[in-house]
Structure 1
Amino acid sequence: MLRLLALYTALSLGANPAAALDLSALKTGEMKKMVVYDQPLATPDLPFVDAEGGSHSLRDFRGQPVLLNFWATWCAPCRAEMPALDRAQADLGSRGLKVLTLATGRNPQAQIGRFFDQAGVVHLPRYQDEPRALARAMGVAGLPVSVLIDREGHEVARIIGEADWDSAEARAVLDALTRE
């Protein structure tokens, strides 16, 4: 685990030194717990799978702003925020936002599908990181964790714990991410 964290840190130090999207002024209300980076961090290019078993990586989404949410079917706060993430995708997808929900650890696709059906989630993909490779490489120690990724594929901010993605503060952050 420490070796992967060291690798992620090394990757982030080699990130493109372009100015990061400045989200600091938006750390109000619901978004106070958001960690905003002075410089964007590189994201690892590790595979994860979709509901049909197809392989993907964060590289596939370059050019789009991404809200990457690490979650699990057994995680109550993760389950609570999923409908708001679905609404964020529905509302901001036309502006280029891609909300990626990545079930990490043992979350069989059947369980993910049942949960999405029960919660009325229809706009989100059913991605899975069963070996937790991407989660470990990105230093995800608990769930949920939401990572904001700019169009160049760099992490610009993260939120540890549940967030109300329907709040005015969260929508302001997502608006800024899609405007960049």
Structure 2
Amino acid sequence: MLRKLVPTLYGLAFALATPALAEVEPGLFTGTMAKMEPLEAYTPAITTFVGADGQLADLSMYHGQVVVLNFWATWCAPCREEMPSLQALQEAMGDRDLEVVTVAFGRHNPVAMEKFWADTGITSLPLHIDPASEMARGLGVRGLPHTFILDRDGRILAQLIGEADWDAQETLALLEAYLEQ
């Protein structure tokens, strides 16, 4: 009898000793966040882009922070609509280890990017770019805007394709839950 119990007890002990990935309460995916798609956590293969200073940068710069990674383009009307709410999100939760990382998708003229920022009143978000769209392709970006939520270890947890209100109460509640993981 004991021989039959040993594998079961071993499996139970292993399961209890292995930390489970905390899941976000499904009831938090409401309003504009109803479009958010939770994913099985994974580490992206390509994490490099060109930083605001023109130098090669990497998502690992944000290790220890929850990241809202937003792909956008200067020609994208929904991106223009949502960008001010991304800035409001950064201002509301940036001091809580949340970082909004904006990455222009494809080739963009830096002057046009700066004009986009000026036209939309953006003052506190970075002007990063993925000029060859390598990171975007690696992440499976489908349409713009396309936003990913990354945990403190750089793993992708969720995605939202299309425009969202990033400073709505339901959004703040959902991101608060990701911060608490």
Instruction: Tell me, yes or no, whether TM beats 0.5.
Output: yes
Structure 2 residue 15 is matched with structure 1 residue 27: no
Query: Unaligned stretches of 5+ in structure 1?
Result: 1-16
* Structure-1 residue corresponding to 2:44: 43
* Structure-1 residue corresponding to 2:79: 78
Percent identity reads: 42
Contact 1:51-1:109 within 8 A present in 2 as well: no
Q: Distance in 1 between matches of 2:120 and 2:26?
A: 32
* Structure-1 residue corresponding to 2:65: 64
Q: Deviations over 1:43-77 (max 9, x none)?
A: 22432112221111112211110000000000000
SS in 2 for 1:147: strand
TM-score (norm. length: structure 1): 0.85
SS in 2 for 1:175: helix
The alpha carbon displacement at 1:141 in A equals: 2.1
The alpha carbon displacement at 1:27 in A equals: 1.1
Q: Distance in 2 between matches of 1:62 and 1:71?
A: 22
* Structure-1 residue corresponding to 2:151: 150
Query: Unaligned stretches of 5+ in structure 2?
Result: 1-18
* Structure-1 residue corresponding to 2:175: 174
TM-score (norm. length: structure 2): 0.85
The alpha carbon displacement at 1:20 in A equals: 4.3
The structure having more radius of gyration, on CA atoms, is 2
The two structures, once aligned, show a CA RMSD in angstroms of 1.5
Q: Deviations over 1:28-47 (max 9, x none)?
A: 1111111012x311122432
Moved over 3 A (4+): none
Q: Distance in 1 between matches of 2:140 and 2:25?
A: 21
Q: Deviations over 1:87-126 (max 9, x none)?
A: 1111111001100000011222211111111211111011
